Structure formats: C-alpha cells, structure tokens
Amino acid sequence: MSYQVKELYLSAQGEGARTGRAAVFLRFAGCNLWTGREKDRSTAICKFCDTDFVGTDGDGGGRFSEARDLAKAVSDKWPLEYAETPEYAEAPYVVCTGGEPLLQLDAQLIDAMHDRGFEIAIETNGTLGVPKGVDWICVSPKAGADFVAKSGDELKLIYPQLGAEPELFEGLSFANFFLQPMDGPELRKNMASAAEYCMAHPKWRLSLQTHKLLGIP
C-alpha cells in the first residue's frame, strides 16, 4: 500500500511513560473519528482533537509508495552520530501517530522500520486492532467510539470526557494508566481536576503535554 504522511520530524516524547525520550514522530494523515476539518468538528466522534493531520504538506510529509522508502525517511531523521554508535543503550525510536496511525501502519512498514533498527511505538484511539510487531502501545480511548485495543503499555485517557470516565477502563490490561487534561479554554480547570482525581485514585498518573510547555514540536 502507499502511505500518506502529514509530517515527519525529530523531537522528544512529550506525554506519558516515555516523556523526554528522543523520538522520530511519524504522523499519518487521516482519522476515523474526525475528518480533521473544522466544519465537521461538531458532528465528529472526537470533537476535541488539537492536531492537524489533514493532507501531506507538513514538515517531512508526503506520499510514499513503498514501505522501504518511508522507513528510510524515518531513519534519515534520526541523528547520525547515534545511528553509528551501537553502544548507546536505547534503540532508535519512532512514534507512529496521527490522526489514527492504524489506518495505515501495516506489517510491511513495521518490518521495514525494524530492519533499520527502530523500536516502534504507536499512539492510537483503540478502535482498530494492533498488528504484531509494535513494541510500545499507547491507547487513548474516546467516548462514543468502539474500543477494541484493550491491552498495551499505557492507557492515556483525555480528561474529562462524558461517557469515558476513568473507572470504565481501570480494569483493563495496561501497564500504565494516565489522565491527560483536555486542552482548550478550560485547560487550567481540567489540569486541577485531573490532578485531584489522580491523588484520590493512585492507579492513575497525571500526564502533561510537556512539549507544549517547552515550545517544541
């Protein structure tokens, strides 16, 4: 299959259990819960998305006809000095995100990125099955959406969401449970209420979008 990529860039993971880790971000175009166009936001399942995933015009974005070509583009973003120094403890790391990455991430691309030494993470809404070979699975469920990915490395719940309360998910098989305050005009209020919930329910940990606080992509 061909791949439509909104943007491809090097940054640091800003959220969740791997906050601060250097990563290549592979943002696929398209989502199954919102078109990404403002005119459709009011009727979307996910109305609060803060990410531009429409088109292929972002930094490093484009259309890739072969998995090996996209894997090379990912590898080219990783710092050369680390790629050539195998004694570094952590492998090159790519975070596949979107939109919804599982609309496009397939076995061929997973194999091609593994062949280049990358550890592969995904950030998904959980409505689609996760293919074999993904090394780190972060699921962020959305209220009103079918939810099939019920296990993984971290569950990241945007908070608050009516119909997606934390207690609905805490019995699932995830290694880490995070509440992330919903961005927007009520961010300060949401940060306070998420922190309060985490203190009262210690299974949950607070996740902040540190990349936004630092002003990095």
Enzyme catalytic residues:
25, 31, 46, 49-51, 123, 211
SS3 of residue 214 by DSSP = helix
Q: Return d(Cα 209, Cα 76) in angstroms, integer.
A: 26
Q: What's the first-to-final CA gap in the chain, in angstroms?
A: 28
Q: Which two tokens stand for residue 209?
A: 């979008």
The residue type at 99: G
The number of residues making up the chain comes to 217
Report CA 198 to chain centroid distance, whole Å.
Answer: 22
Strand-pair partners of 176: 154
The residue type at 148: V
Q: Based on the number of CB atoms within 10 Å of its own CB, is 196 exposed (0-12), middle (13-18) or buried (19 or more)?
A: exposed
Q: Return d(Cα 78, Cα 56) in angstroms, integer.
A: 20
Say which residue the tokens 């088109």 belong to. Answer: 55
Angle between helices 107-115 and 67-77 (to 10 degrees): 40
Those residues whose C-beta lies under 8 Å from the C-beta of residue 202, and which sit 6 or more positions away, are none
